[in-house]
Structure 1
Amino acid sequence: MSPFAEPEHPSITTSDENWDWDGDIPELTAEELATMRPAREALPPDVFAALPSRSGQPEATPHQELVTLRLDSEVVEAFRATGPGWETRINSILALAIRPLARNLDVRRRSSSGRSDKRVN
């Protein structure tokens, strides 16, 4: 048996004549690369919206702020062990943790100003 396995088809819909069995498909030239556009621009909006997201990190919402934070190494290791999105999970847990603090700040602000329109959410 040969140590080199024959490459598999990328999908069941790829025919033998459309599959590059011998690796002779040339690389794209600089001119060809220059004519390419991002999928967001080249595809109809409904088709692009149906594509799965390829990014590993969720898009930041407008109210998020990039910060540098020092955490205990065991905290970071535990969250990283949960897989992709671990930073988002830290944010969710911190958001839950500040709710009591936010309520206390809200009460103090109302009592010191006499107004209730300065809420911390």
Structure 2
Amino acid sequence: MSSKPKIVMPTDEEDAAINRGIATDPDTYEVSADEMMAMKPLGKRGRGRPRLGNTKELVSIRYDAEVLEAFRASGEGWQTRMNSALKEWLRTHRP
């Protein structure tokens, strides 16, 4: 059994009624083909949050349980604080 909702398309009569309503709405604005092209996302990334200058890299890493527990216990934002702690360590140490 699929959990996806079933999409029910309007009948021809319903579609015509919708279009009549759109045509009579004074606030409706039909976007031109040129305007649509200008709205298309550029580049590979497309939509979403703009890229930051200092992007982060997704990695898989294993830490001791007590290290994770300590950072997680500090509440929301623990991953950012963990990153900051590692950066601070790098200021005085070399891996």
Q: Do they fold alike, i.e. is TM over 0.5? A: no
The TM-score with structure 1 as length reference comes to 0.33
